[in-house]
Chains A and B, each alone.
Chain A
């Protein structure tokens, strides 16, 4: 099993550009989530999904969109990048809900917005 994979590992964008961060898991997990990690702050939830076709907002959803058309994939879209979105992004999955299953994290994507 590859576990949770994320692409790209690094990305530099200009303000206003859009892009999609990819996340995939091969463990047939229902629960997937996106977090951002900023210096001096804990991980913060952006969006999450409890199954294909079901998504919901987390703590910091503004400026990001998600969709879940398959169990395996959970892409995160930045609609119009802003410098405040410079961060490290982690995707995670678990077999059940956040409090019911071990969390598996992807390796992260380091995004810089100029």
Chain B
């Protein structure tokens, strides 16, 4: 069983829609990262969080440690948000990240 499950695997939206990507994990963690991989392949960090909620522009990330679940929300989606979004929990005490397989988001104009 995968330690990290993301849903959905693929998501197509119209510009302006509210997007939610979910991440469930089975391991104990000290923090969780959300990453964005652009169509060209580059990977950038969006959020690192260990509790509660963080907001950056139109992006919001939440985490519920007790339920072992995190969500990434995009408000007023735009075609430039089209990318693969990756959830990566840090296993407690291991110095290692584990990665979900990613959610491919396509936002159409």
B-binding residues in A (CB < 8 A): 31, 33, 35, 40-45, 48, 50, 56, 58-59, 88, 90, 92, 97-105, 107-108
B45 adjacent to A108 (CB under 8 Å): no
The answer on a CB contact under 8 Å between B42 and A99 is no
* Among candidates A58, A97, A99, A104, residue contacting B45 with C-beta atoms closer than 8 Å: A104
The one of B43, B50, B91, B96 that contacts A105, using a Cβ cutoff of 8 Å: B43
A42 touches B41 (CB 8 A): no
- Hey, which chain B residues are within 8 Å of A40, CB to CB? 101
Additional A-B contact list (12), CB under 8 Å, known A45-B96, A92-B43:
A42-B100, A42-B101, A43-B86, A59-B96, A98-B97, A99-B29, A99-B90, A100-B30, A100-B31, A103-B88, A105-B44, A107-B42
With an 8 Å Cβ cutoff, the count of chain B residues facing the other chain is 27
- Chain B residue nearest to A31 (CB atoms) is B95
Expressed in whole angstroms, the minimum distance between the Cβ of A78 and any Cβ of chain B is 20
Nearest Cβ on chain B to A53's Cβ, whole angstroms: 15
Bound-state Cα–Cα, A43 to B6, Å: 13
B74-103 contact mask (Cβ, 8 Å, vs A): 1 or 0: 000000000000101011101111111110
A103 & B45 in contact (Cβ 8 Å cutoff): yes
B89 to chain A, nearest CB (A): 8
Bound form: Cα–Cα A33–B29 in Å: 19
Contact of B42 among A31, A59, A108 (CB under 8 A): A108
